[in-house]
Amino acid sequence: MPLLKKIARECAPDVICLQETKVVDELFPGEDIMRMGYTHIHMSGMKSYNGVAILSKTPFVRKAIHHRVGREDCRHIAVQMKSKKFKTPFEIHNLYIPAGGDIPDRKENEKFAHKLDFVDELATWFPEHYKSDQPLIAVGDFNIAPLEHDVWSHKQLLDVVSHTPIEVEKLTNMQTAMEWQDAIRHFVPADEKCYTWWSYRNKDWKKSNRGRRLDHMWVTKPVMPHLKDHSIMMKYRDAEQPSDHVPVMIEVNL
């Protein structure tokens, strides 16, 4: 909470999407968050694992919780919000894609199989429920670094979960299915290194800089003309009790 308050105060986002909240809804610190100015909250949480939340300064038109691959494990929520830019409300989808364990083999590792199935389902689910000309934003911890320069060493990480060819293929299929645009790579060229996550195992994360871009912000084509800026806030990796992920933000003029 102290770090969340600090980020909210210093960056003043209108909407905050959290992943891996690890708390049941009854114990979610809603009152503290409302005092921060985020009076509209949508969440789906469970004890000890996963959990997602959307915090907003402006009202939601509609809220939804989506269960993926037959599990109710609190990894996908969505909200509708009004905008003067569009005739219909736009939607924000907050996703926490499974990490997938350590062994990149579907048969040997059930967690990896779950991850692949989860992304496969999203690749078919979005086109079944939306059209690519609808204004949508999808954000979250995708746990996949798809591009060569989304990791510190493409060759060394090809057999490491998060950058294996099969994961990249699945995420690319998901992106292509809805013609999602990568909002961060809209601002940062694909041939430039770009990370959002640094392991706790590296004592000096900044010096070693062995990062990966696991956190993504995607938008559909109607939203693209309204993208104004982005920020990957590395300074918070040095905060007290930091996450191994840093906050990622886009500015969209809606």
Domain that holds residue 100: 2-252
The percent of residues above 70 in pLDDT, for the chain, comes to 100
Residue 212: band (very low, low, confident or very high) from pLDDT cuts 50, 70, 90: very high
Q: Which residues contact 229 (CB under 8 A, 6 or more apart)?
A: 187, 250, 251
Q: What's the pLDDT tens digit per position in 218-243?
A: 999 999 999 999 999 999 999 999 99
Closest among 113, 78, 88, 83 to 99, alpha carbons compared? 113
Provide the number of structural domains found in the chain. 1
Residue 202: band (very low, low, confident or very high) from pLDDT cuts 50, 70, 90: confident
pLDDT at res. 3: 95
Distances (CA, A) of 62 to 15, 33, 41, 90: 15, 20, 12, 10
- Are residues 214 and 142 in contact, defined by beta-carbon separation less than 8 angstroms? yes
Instruction: Work out the mean pLDDT of the chain and round it to a whole number.
Output: 97
115's tokens: 């991850």
78's tokens: 């969505």
Q: What's the pLDDT tens digit per position in 26-64?
A: 999 999 999 999 999 999 999 999 999 999 999 999 999
* Element holding 64 (H helix, E strand): strand 62-65
Q: What's the pLDDT tens digit per position in 137-196?
A: 999 999 999 999 999 999 999 999 999 999 999 999 999 999 999 999 999 999 999 999
pTM given for the model: 0.97
Closest among 82, 176, 99, 186 to 135, alpha carbons compared? 82
**CATH assignment of the domain containing 88:** 3.60.10.10
DSSP codes of every residue in 102-135: S---TTT-HHHHHHHHHHHHHHHHHHHH--TTS-
